[in-house]
Amino acid sequence: MQKIIMNLIGDEHYVPADLETFAKLLKANSETELRSLKQALDALEAQGILAKNKRERYNTVERLGLLKGPIDLKRQGYGFVKPEGTDGPDVFIPRGNVGDSMDNDRVLVKVTRRSEDGRVEGAVVRILERALKYVVGDYFQGAVFPKNPIGDYLFKVKPPFRSDLKDHTVIKAEIIRYTASKILDVKPVEVIGHPTDPGIEILTIVAEHGL
């Protein structure tokens, strides 16, 4: 389905279309066909291949002037994105426009301003790939504290996942909700041991790197 959609969009006569128009073009009439079409369009958006314009119509990110690349977030809250596939300048992302992105996330950026001196400013419109998906650290009173602190983030274990955990246990947790407030919800996926257990440092390194 994704290939069929891209063939339509790649046509030189393509006019930006919404979900309803795509359904008519592809004769997707049943509930199953419509669901399959919506899933394919969502997947292409998640990959940073397509995006919607202000009228909720789909087009390629290139035609919409959007840029992709990793974000280099600074401690002060602002960041820079190095656009992929271009020699253009880095895009400055003001603190208020970084959304819930984290350092080194691959993001999709909308250019909001171009200065005469060549500087470019933008805003993050979508996270394409998370650089940090898991954290390993000491569990204590509902939160996970990595041995090497990660910025100003607090990794909070949601109450339903706390019942089997004991304070001062080293665990690996998956981030299940990212927020701009820097309080991230996590879910335990592995109990590694106690900080004083023999070999705990090696086990922690293995867990951190997914070895």
Rounded-to-integer distance, Cα 60 and Cα 51, Å: 6
Q: How far from chain centre, in Å, is Cα 87?
A: 24
Q: For residue range 155-188, list pLDDT tens digits in order.
A: 999 888 998 899 999 999 999 999 998 899 999 9
What pLDDT does residue 119 have?
93
Residue 128 phi, psi (nearest 5): -90, -35
- pLDDT-based confidence at 57, cuts 50/70/90? very high
Q: Which tokens belong to 164?
A: 């089997």
What pLDDT does residue 205 have?
85
Q: At what angle do helices 2-10 and 31-46 cross, to 10 degrees?
A: 70
Report DSSP letters for 58-80, one per residue: EEETTTTTEEEEEEEE-TTS-EE
Q: For residue range 20-33, list pLDDT tens digits in order.
A: 999 999 999 899 99
Q: For residue range 113-137, list pLDDT tens digits in order.
A: 999 888 999 999 999 999 999 999 9
Question: 196 vs 176, which has greater pLDDT?
Answer: 176
Taking residues 69-85, report their average pLDDT. 94
Query: Minimal CA–CA distance to 74: which of 108, 111, 101?
Result: 101
Question: 119 vs 147, which has greater pLDDT?
Answer: 119
Q: Is the distance from CB of 61 to CB of 102 less than 8 angstroms?
A: no
Question: 149 vs 32, which has greater pLDDT?
Answer: 32
Question: Is 187 strand, coil or helix?
Answer: strand
The contacts found for 141-149 with CB under 8 angstroms, 24 or more apart, are 141/167, 144/171, 144/173, 144/186, 147/204
Q: Is the distance from CB of 70 to CB of 81 less than 8 angstroms?
A: yes
Query: Which 8-state DSSP code applies to residue 17?
Result: B
Average pLDDT, the chain: 93
**Could you give the C-alpha distances from 88 to 67, 112, 118, in angstroms and in order?**
10, 15, 9
Q: For residue range 87-112, list pLDDT tens digits in order.
A: 889 999 999 999 999 999 999 999 99
Query: Which 8-state DSSP code applies to residue 49?
Result: S
